[in-house]
Structure 1
Amino acid sequence: MRLLWGIVYQLFFRPTPRWALHSWRCLILRGFRAQIGEGCRIDPTARIWAPWNLVVGDYVAIAEGVDLYNVAPIHIGSKVAVSQHSFLCTASHDITSLSRPLVHSPISIANHAWIAAGVMLHPGVVVEEGVVVAARAVLRGRAQGWSIWAGNPARQVGERKIAS
C-alpha cells in the first residue's frame, strides 16, 4: 500500500497547484482511507506517510512542507491550522535497546488548535482544544486546553483568551 501511495502522491497529489484543487487532493487521500472533513485545505507539498492513519475534521488547513509521519494515527479536530514546515511524528526508535526497535504512539489535536510554523510534535502528544503551539516549539506530552506553548522543550507561557 505504501508503494502505491508513493506513486499516486508523486504523480497526482504533489504536482497540483497550491492555490487550487484542494478537493482533488482530499479525494485522493480519501481513496487511501483517510478520513477528511469538509472544507479542508491540504497543501500539495505536505508529506503524508500513511493516509489510512489520518483523521481530519472540518475546515482544517495543512500548510506547505508539513510532514505527517503517521506510522500511528494522527487525529486532527475541526478548525485547526497546521502551519508551514511543522513535523508531526508518531514514531521513533527505542534507544534503551541495542536493536533500536520502532516504537509508535498516536498524536491527537483537538478543535480550534493552531500548530504554528516549524513545530515538532513528538509521538503520543495530545493537544487539547484551543491550544496554540508557538513557532519552532518542540512539544512532548499533553498541552492543556486554551493555553499557549513555546520553546524547546515547549512549556506553557500563557492562556489563550478569545475576544467576544
Structure 2
Amino acid sequence: MRSHFNRWRRAVWQALAYRMVFGERDGPRGVRPHTRIAPSTCIQGAQGLRLADHVFIGQFNFLDAQGGLTLHEGVQITNFVSVLTHSSHRSVRLLGRHYVQHPQPLPGYVSAPVEIGAYSFIGPHSLIEPGARLGRGVVVCAYAQVRGEVPDFAIVAGQPARVVGDVRTRDAELLRQHPELAEHYRAWAGELPQGAP
C-alpha cells in the first residue's frame, strides 16, 4: 500500500512541478501564448520582467528581474541558469551587520538591467551578470560567465565569457541544406548569413 501511495505522490509531483505549459502572462502587457516557463524556475522581482513571445525557460533557473530584465522573442534559457540584475556582496562585506540599517544608496551595491536579444540561447549552468546586454542570435555555451556587451550572432564561452565563434557559419550551412527556411531566418535576423543561398 505504501509503495502505491509513493508512486501516486511522485506522479502528482512530476505533473505539477515539471510539466511545461504553453502560455504565460506578461503582467499588464498581455498573454504570451507560445512562451513556456518551467514551474521550477524562480523569478525574483517579476514586475521588472519584460517578456516577449516564443520564449522558453527550462527547469531550475534563477531569474532576478528586480533591476530590469528583457527577454526578446525566441530566447531560450536551458536549465540551472542564473540571470542577475543586482548584487549586494560588496555592500555586505563593507557594512557587515550594519547592512540592513544603512541608508540608501548602499556603497558597493550593483544594480543594472539585463537584456537578452532575439533568438539567443543560454546554455546550462551559465551566469549572466548585472548590466549584461546580449545581441540577437547569441549562443552562450554551458558554464559561461557573461558580463558586458555581447555582439549579435556571437558564440561565447568561458569565465569570463569571450567570443569563440559566430553562429552564422553553421546557420549558412543549414540554410544551404534547407533553403525553404530562408524567409523565416530573415524575419528575425534581418538578413541571411554570408554563404547562404
For Structure 1 versus Structure 2, the TM-score category normalised by the shorter chain is 0.7 to 0.9
Cα deviation for residue 75 of structure 1 reads 0.1
Q: How does 1:39-54 map to 2 (within 5 A)?
A: 39-54=34-49
**Match in the other structure for 2:116:** 109
CA distance in 2 between counterparts of 1:94 and 1:19 reads 34
Higher CA-based Rg = 2
SS of 1:52's equivalent? helix
SS of 2:130's equivalent? coil
Q: 1:159 aligns with which of 159, 166, 186?
A: 166
Cα RMSD over matched residues?
A: 2.2
Q: Which has the higher helix share?
A: 2
**Counterpart amino acid of 2:124?**
A
Structure 1's consecutive aligned runs of 4 or more residues displaced over 6 angstroms after TM superposition are none
Distance 1:73 1:52, change over 3 A: same
* Identity between Structure 1 and Structure 2 (%): 24
**Match in the other structure for 2:53:** 58
**Counterpart amino acid of 1:74?**
L
State whether residues 125 and 142 of structure 2, in contact with CA within 8 Å, keep that contact through their aligned partners in structure 1: yes
Cα deviation for residue 37 of structure 1 reads 2.7
Q: TM-score, normalised by structure 2?
A: 0.67
SS of 2:163's equivalent? strand
SS of 1:39's equivalent? strand
- Stretches of structure 1 that go unaligned for 5 or more consecutive residues are 1-14
SS of 1:123's equivalent? coil
State whether residues 37 and 58 of structure 2, in contact with CA within 8 Å, keep that contact through their aligned partners in structure 1: yes
The answer to whether the aligner puts 1:131 opposite 2:138 as a matched pair is: yes
Distance 1:34 1:105, change over 3 A: farther
Cα deviation for residue 38 of structure 1 reads 3.0
1:18-60: CA deviations, max 9, x gaps? 325443xx24x63xx5766330010000000011111111110
Cα deviation for residue 68 of structure 1 reads 0.4
**Counterpart amino acid of 2:145?**
V
**Counterpart amino acid of 1:112?**
Y
**Counterpart amino acid of 2:38?**
D
The answer to whether the aligner puts 1:76 opposite 2:71 as a matched pair is: yes
Q: TM-score, normalised by structure 1?
A: 0.79
CA distance in 2 between counterparts of 1:79 and 1:69 reads 19
Distance 1:78 1:126, change over 3 A: same
CA distance in 2 between counterparts of 1:89 and 1:40 reads 21
Q: 1:93 aligns with which of 74, 88, 95?
A: 88
- Stretches of structure 2 that go unaligned for 5 or more consecutive residues are 1-14, 100-105, 176-197
User: Which shifted more, 98-107 or 39-48?
Assistant: 98-107
